[in-house]
Structures are given as structure tokens and as C-alpha cells.
Amino acid sequence: VTAEGKKPHWTTWRRFVQLSIAVFYIALPFANRAGFRAVDGTLAALKIGPVDLIEPAGALSTVLAGRHVTGALLAGVAPVLLLALMLGPVFCSWVCPWGLISEAIDRVRKHNSSGWKGEPWVVVRTVRILSLSAFLLGSIVLAMPLAAFLSAPRLVSALPLEAVYLRILSPVTGVLLLALLLFELFGPRRLWCRAVCPVGAFANFLRWRKTLSLRVDTRICACQNYSLCLANCAWGIDPRHMRPADGCTNCMRCIEVCPSEALTFGL
Amino acid sequence: VGDQAWRWWRNLLAPLPLRPPGARRESEFAALCLRCNRCIAACPYKSLKPGGWAQATAAGTPVCVPQEQPCYLCMLCPPACPTGALEPITDKHRVRMGRAEVNHNACYAFQRILCRTCVDECPLPEAMTQDGELHPIVTEKCVGCGICEKVCPAPEVAIRVRARGDQA
């Protein structure tokens, strides 16, 4: 007995949100230049009216590099931290335009099978810890905010702004995005989003017991070896063996494809 | 396209650039700047652009290249900075981007040609004066906005702003 038809089409909604944000970031520099000032900035630091929204990993990186904190920075990070603590790393799956690009490239790339084959996510977890540590330590050693400098959402949202304002591609943004693109095309499958990206890694470590997260009822789960949830997960996670902070971004895809009611989301 | 390619390369090779008004000294600025581009978006004159790779650990931070577009000291960018890399000052007299220096060998006024373009165009009345021989003199009040560098009519630009760099 399946109730799939009654489940909300989370992925349709997610694509709608992702695409809207991507279009918004392409349109924003034109709007800004035409005098629209209610929203401005990139995904490193966005200002909506009087509200500042600052990406926490990049902010922490500047604090470590510059050893200086302003009240404005804390006020800008606070609402983002609060959202991440409540909703989990939804930024990666619902907001980040680079996530959309990465998912699209992953669709186009030829894989040995149509889905994931239960890659060892313990390795991914280790990479995530090492990578975030390297970004933060590197920020101190080089005295530059590495986590902000190499943040994919910052780069991809800065590109249209620089192109419209300066009528030229910035060599820094351009080269970094090209490198990311090559990593996405030829590197391990979606490894940037799953483990390396400091934005996602930091958000992953913010999970606590009150964060919105996937619940698995193993008594209902009927799948044996091959599971639709793992095969469809854009982050290569097996929900049945997932531990908290294992990289789930609450995209809700697994709930959609589960033939039973074994998967739910809850606080 | 050729002009753009040239500017692109020169951007790659530019040493110690001018920073936006309110910027902390060079080393602190590179560490605190989030590269969020809000100051660039705030500038109505398109005076700011992201710096190139030659700046090493400061790559991607905003720079002002006066000969392309100087700073008009409208003071809109300092409040846009979220991290304090630009201190939110609003008084243009407190800006310290650098200081202009006159190259006597290239300046018309030093070749007995009557020219006071830089003195006339300077936005801060006390920042530039002339001595008895009508030579332009840069005073301590100069904040380094670079308007003089932009307007200088000499074939080899005779007044250039030296960036403040790491001076306290």
C-alpha cells in the first residue's frame, strides 16, 4: 500500500525556490542600478531593508583572520544562525544557486549507475571536518577570510553583479568559479557541496536535537538492499543509516520517493 | 575589447591599490573584507571594482583606480560594509585613502605652462594650494580621492595618489 500520490511535491517546490533565487540574483544588479535599493548584496552578506543577513562561516572566517568583531556583524549573523539551528542546512538544497548548478551537472555527468551505491559517508564526514578546519586555520595563517573567499554561493551571486556593474568578468571571481566548475565536472561526485564547501559544512555542525530533521521508522521500511531513498538522494546519503550532521540538507526528496511511510520530517 | 583586456591585465598587476573611504589599513582590510561586493554596489560612480590576483591574499577586495574612475567622496560605501573593514565614517575629511604626489618633471606648472586643473578640481578646498610660482602643492588635508589624477591634462599623468597602505 502506497500513499505516494498524497505526498507533497517537495522537489517541485524546491526547484521553484532555487530557480527563483537564481533569477533574482541575475536581476538584482540591474534593479540596483535602476535605483532599487530595498535589497542589495551577495550571498556572503545580504541586506533586505534594514535587516542584514550574513553567512556565518564567512563571518567567522573574517573574525579569525582580522581578530575584530563588530556589533553589526553579530546582528547580521544571528538571524541566519537561528534559521540554521531550526531548519538545518536548508540553505544548500533550497537557496544556494551553486547547489542548483551542481545538481544539474550531476544529472548530466555519466555515472556507473543511475543512483548512488552507498558510498562510504563516513569518509565524507571526515573530509567535511578536515575541510572546515583547513578553511578556518588557513584564515588565521593567511590573514584572509578563506571561507568567504572560496564560498560558492558568494562567488556565483557576485558574478552577475560584477558583470553588470563593471562590464567585465572579475579575474578573481571568474577563475575561482571556473575551478569550481572543473571540480564539479571531473572531481568526486558532488564532493564540493557534500563535504568541502565551508558554508554547508558549518551549517551541518549546527545541527542539534531540536533541528528539523529526517525521522526513519525502520519497522515500516520495506526495502532490502536497493533503496529508492539512497538512489535518489542528491547528497548520497542513506537515510536508513544516517547519523545527525551526516550531510542531510532537508531537501525532502527521500520522503517523496519512499514507497512506504517510513520517512517523515519532524523537530 | 582591447582596452578592456588591457585594463584586465593591469588590474592583475596593480601594486598597493587605493581602498574605499573608511578602509582600515591594508593588512587589516584584507583580513576583514568579506568580498561581499556591497560597497561596489553602493558606489554610484562605479569607482570601485574587485582587485585582481596580484594582490595575493587581498584578491577580490575592492580597489579604486583613479585614472579609470576616482572617488567622489559621496560616503555611501562605508555604511554598506557588514564587517567593519570599512569603518562607517560619514565625514569626507576623515577619509585616508592615500595622498597625492606631484611629479615635477611631468607637471605643466613646473614647465612654465599655466595649469591649475588639479587645484581647481580638488573637492577639499584646503587639500591643494599653489606656491608663489603657481606650482601645485599637496597639503596634509589631502585624503587621496584621486580626482586630480583623473583630471590631470599632462600626457604623462603628473599627479598620482600614493596609497595609504599599512600606515596606521
CB burial string A50-72: b at 16+ within 10 A, e below = eebbbbbbbbbbbbbbbeebbeb
More confident: A242 or A212: A212
The CA distances from residue B64 to B11, B17, B19, B68, B162, in Å, are 10, 7, 6, 8, 12
Query: The pTM is what?
Result: 0.88
Q: Do B37 and A59 touch (CB under 8 A)?
A: no
pLDDT above 90 covers a percentage of chain B that reads: 79
The confidence score (pLDDT) of residue B147 equals: 97
Tell me: the pLDDT tens digits for A84-126? 999 999 999 999 999 999 999 998 887 655 566 655 566 788 8
Position of cell 527563483? A20
Q: Which helix (H) or strand (E) holds A24?
A: helix A10-33
Which among B72, B102, B76 has a CA at the least distance from the CA of B89?
B76
More confident: A96 or A216: A96
The confidence score (pLDDT) of residue A167 equals: 78
Average pLDDT over residues B24-39: 92
Average pLDDT over residues A148-162: 95
pLDDT of residue A4 exceeding 70, the answer is no
* Strand-pair partners of A227: none
pLDDT of residue B121 exceeding 60, the answer is yes
What end-to-end distance do the CA atoms of chain A give, in Å? 27
The confidence score (pLDDT) of residue B6 equals: 55
What are the chain B neighbours of A158 within 8 Å (beta carbons)? 35-37, 50
Confidence of residue B12 (pLDDT cuts 50, 70, 90): low
CA angle B128, B129, B135 (to 5 degrees): 110
Lowest mean pLDDT among A6-15, A162-171, B140-149: A162-171
Q: Do B31 and A42 touch (CB under 8 A)?
A: no
CA distance A17 to A12: 9
| Chain B 9-48, residues with CB within 8 Å of chain A CB atoms | 11-12, 27-28, 30-38, 40-42, 46
Tell me: the pLDDT tens digits for A21-47? 999 999 999 998 888 889 989 999 999
**Mean confidence (pLDDT) of chain A:** 89
What are the chain B neighbours of A171 within 8 Å (beta carbons)? 8, 11-12, 52-53
Average pLDDT over residues A129-148: 95
Confidence of residue B95 (pLDDT cuts 50, 70, 90): very high
CA angle A102, B59, A161 (to 5 degrees): 55
Dihedral sign (CA A81, A87, A90, A94) = negative
Half-sphere exposure (Cβ direction) of A90: Cα atoms closer than 13 Å? 21
DSSP single-letter state for residue A45: E
CB burial string A169-195: b at 16+ within 10 A, e below = bbbbbbebbeebeeebeeeeebbbbbb
* Strand-pair partners of A71: none
Lowest mean pLDDT among A5-14, A23-32, A209-218: A5-14
Which residue in chain A is spatially nearest to B60 when comparing CA positions? A172
Lowest mean pLDDT among A35-49, A135-149, A243-257, B42-56: A243-257
- The three-state secondary structure class of A264 is strand
What are the chain B neighbours of A31 within 8 Å (beta carbons)? none
Which among B113, B135, B138, B116 has a CA at the least distance from the CA of B127?
B138
Which residue in chain B is spatially nearest to A161 when comparing CA positions? B41
Tell me: the pLDDT tens digits for A177-190? 999 999 999 988 89
Selecting from A32, A52, A144 the residue whose C-beta is nearest the C-beta of B57 gives: A144
Within an 8 Å CB–CB cutoff, is residue A105 touching chain B?
A: no
Question: How far does the CA of residue A147 sit from the closest CA of chain B (Å)?
Answer: 9
Average pLDDT over residues B87-92: 94
Backbone angles phi, psi at A164, to 5 degrees: -75, -45
CA distance B128 to B160: 13
Confidence of residue B166 (pLDDT cuts 50, 70, 90): confident
**Do B157 and B106 contact (CB within 8 A), yes or no?**
yes
**Do A153 and A199 contact (CB within 8 A), yes or no?**
yes
Within an 8 Å CB–CB cutoff, is residue A53 touching chain B?
A: no
What are the chain A neighbours of B36 within 8 Å (beta carbons)? 41-42, 44-45, 148, 154, 158
Selecting from B7, B58, B82 the residue whose C-beta is nearest the C-beta of A52 gives: B82
Confidence of residue A52 (pLDDT cuts 50, 70, 90): very high
What are the chain B neighbours of A32 within 8 Å (beta carbons)? 41
| Chain B 62-91, residues with CB within 8 Å of chain A CB atoms | 80, 82-85
pLDDT of residue A55 exceeding 50, the answer is yes
Within an 8 Å CB–CB cutoff, is residue A178 touching chain B?
A: no
Q: Please list the helix, strand and coil fractions of chain A in percent, rounded to the nearest 5, in that order.
A: 60, 5, 35
Within an 8 Å CB–CB cutoff, is residue A170 touching chain B?
A: yes
The CA distances from residue A48 to A5, A144, A155, in Å, are 38, 26, 19
Confidence of residue A1 (pLDDT cuts 50, 70, 90): very low
**Do B147 and B125 contact (CB within 8 A), yes or no?**
no
More confident: B39 or A230: B39
Q: Do B34 and A165 touch (CB under 8 A)?
A: no
More confident: A223 or B63: B63
Which among A144, A76, A152, A149 has a CA at the least distance from the CA of B32?
A144
